[in-house]
Amino acid sequence: MLPSIAGTGRLTADPELRFTQSGKAVASVPLAFNSRRLNKQTNEWEDGDVFYIRGTAWERLAENIAETFAKGMEVIVTGELRTESWEKDGQKHERPSLMIRSIGPSLAFAVAAVSKDAASQSGGQRPPQSSARPQQGQAQRSRPTAPPTDDPWAVDQQAGHSAEPPF
């Protein structure tokens, strides 16, 4: 069994989305985790050790990561630690990597707007991707007065539907 990790880190570069020859999406996510703490004697923040690791995600998670995150964003991530091995110029190389299982924005210093991904709404078929990415701290602050007509979570109270769970 591989060791698991859960923590808050920061993207050190934009995620890189690629596709395998069979068409599976794979995202490479460079992350940094550090141990910053407040020195009570000087009342100043001090940076401790930094752990850099490259995270990898597959399929819809990979596409959602590439669509959502950008360099500098703080994220909460979980996954399994692995060892990547490769050979280059006759030399064997190894480094730790993180197989990302879940990732989301940290709301400590940002606001996020959550929505279902397009694949969930269209039966698994993704429409063409938009290249626009929100930057941390630049989330939309305006709130719609009514849910969009295509909102799968909308509640139609006029038709007698309730927001209460059925149990």
pLDDT tens for 69-94 read 999 999 999 999 999 898 999 999 99
DSSP assignments along the chain, one per residue: -PPEEEEEEEESS--EEEE-TT--EEEEEEEEEEEEEEETTTTEEEEEEEEEEEEEEEHHHHHHHHHH--TT-EEEEEEEEEEEEEEETTEEEEEEEEEEEEEEE--SS--------HHHHTTTPPPPPP---PPTT-------SS--TT-TT---GGGT--SS---
Per-residue pLDDT averaged across 52-62, rounded?
95
Position 133 scores a pLDDT of 45
Cβ(25)–Cβ(63) under 8 Å? Answer: yes
pTM surpassing 0.85? no
Least confident of 27-31, 93-97, 116-120: 116-120
What span, in angstroms and rounded, lies between the C-alpha atoms of 162 and 34? 45
Kindly list the domain boundaries of the chain, sorted by start residue.
4-138
- Tell me phi and psi for residue 67, to 5 degrees: -75, -30
- The pLDDT of residue 131: 44
Looking at residue 63, its pLDDT comes to 94
pLDDT at 130: 45
Q: 4-138 adopts what CATH topology?
A: OB fold (Dihydrolipoamide Acetyltransferase, E2P) (2.40.50)
pLDDT at position 20: 92
Which band of pLDDT confidence, cut at 50, 70 and 90, is reported for residue 145?
A: very low
pLDDT for residue 110:
84
